[in-house]
Amino acid sequence: MTYSKWGSTMIDVSREKLVEMYRKMLEIRYFEEKVFELYGQNLVPGTIHLYAGQEAVAVGVCSALRKEDYITSTHRGHGHCIAKGADLKRVMAEILGRKTGYCKGKGGSMHIADFSIGMLGATAVVGAGLPIATGAALSVKLQKTSQVVACFFGDGASNQGTFHESLNMAAIWKLPILFVCENNLYAMGTSQSRVMLIENIADRAAAYGMVGTTIDGNDVLAVYQTAREAVERARKGEGPTLIECKTYRHKGHSRMDPAKYRPKEEVEEWLKKDPIKRFQDRLFEMNVLTEDEKGEIERAVIAEVEEAVKFALESPYPSPEEALEDVYA
């Protein structure tokens, strides 16, 4: 075991696990860069919301989960899917609208789900993941399995009614759930300070009698350690936790949004806190990673993403006759 210092806490985590976390974060980053490039080439039908910059949240949380545990996602969901172990090829194929994708190319970026790895789905409706996650956690409790649920959502979603209803229900029923708020300071072009009088969204946990904590969402070990503690409490029947991760998206809200509403100094400051660079420096310091190993990992990840792109581009589009298949409403 390697012991890594996080704040005043020592985390017991193996070298393999640390490298795996680093690799997953890189996978998400390269994947998103590729999606951005493909979008620019007009190969992505619909819109996209990129996760680059927020990798430490998805990877930190999902690294504390088991395969059978559940997650719910958002419109910015590629990172959650990848962190939970989705097949890069099928994710890319879905984003490019191809038949080999998770929804046979008919759902696109915001509808990817993979029940075989506990990924209950992305959703275009802001705040819609919260009641789904709460329902999943209730089912876990009633069936007495030892699973837990991690529910990802944004700062904007925390102003929706679904947030308040879900947190209250989860608290009174002591459901095994982690409410993971990715506070990237903006909901589209609206900064948090324009729509909330509080600075820390985790303060809202107290209103439901729930444990709440605000952490550095760009420090993957901080996220991992906090998620582990919340998972442990959830598995013991001690109920939900609200974890607010302060983070920042590198790109605009969606498509080609240049995000001109963000002050230049703010962007620069957050780019310096890039979660991947920070983790990489930490791994060098801890002697977990060498320059050679870093290069090897990068090459392997780039090859894997390129393979996913090739697979997607070589896959056919669904045929018009299939348009109404698998449609439930």
List interacting residues with ligand TPP (CB under 6 A): 75-76, 124-127, 154-157, 184, 186-188, 253
Structure tokens, 137: 């956690």
Beta pairing, strands 149-154 & 70-72: parallel
In angstroms, give the least distance from the CB of 73 to ligand TPP: 11
In angstroms, give the least distance from the CB of 249 to ligand TPP: 6
Supply the Cα-derived Rg of the chain in whole angstroms: 19
Q: Which residue is nearest to ligand TPP (CB)?
A: 154
- Which residues are registered as beta bridge partners of 5? 10
Pick between residue 244 and residue 274 the one whose CB is nearest to Mg ion. 244
In angstroms, give the least distance from the CB of 27 to ligand TPP: 19
Contact (CB, 8 A) for 123 and 110? yes
Pick between residue 76 and residue 84 the one whose CB is nearest to ligand TPP. 76
155 binds Mg ion (CB under 5 A): yes
Q: Which of residues 219-248 bind Mg ion (CB under 5 A)?
A: none
Residue 25's φ and ψ, nearest 5 degrees, are -65, -40
Question: In the chain, count of helices (H) and strands (E)?
Answer: 11, 9
Single out the residue of 144, 162, 167, 166 nearest to residue 237, CA to CA: 144
Structure tokens, 297: 């990992």
DSSP assignment letter at 117: G
Structure tokens, 67: 């395969």
Instruction: Write the binding mask 59 to 88 for Mg ion: x where contact by CB under 5 A, - elsewhere.
Output: ------------------------------
Instruction: Write the binding mask 135 to 154 for Mg ion: x where contact by CB under 5 A, - elsewhere.
Output: -------------------x
**Binding at 56: pick from ligand TPP, Mg ion, none (beta carbon under 5-8 Å per type):** none
Q: Where are the beta strands (DSSP E) in the chain?
A: 2-6, 9-13, 70-72, 149-154, 177-183, 186-187, 190-191, 211-216, 241-246
Q: Which of residues 187-226 bind Mg ion (CB under 5 A)?
A: 187
In angstroms, give the least distance from the CB of 157 to ligand TPP: 4
**Binding at 259: pick from Mg ion, ligand TPP, none (beta carbon under 5-8 Å per type):** none
List of residues contacting Mg ion (CB under 5 A): 154-156, 184, 187
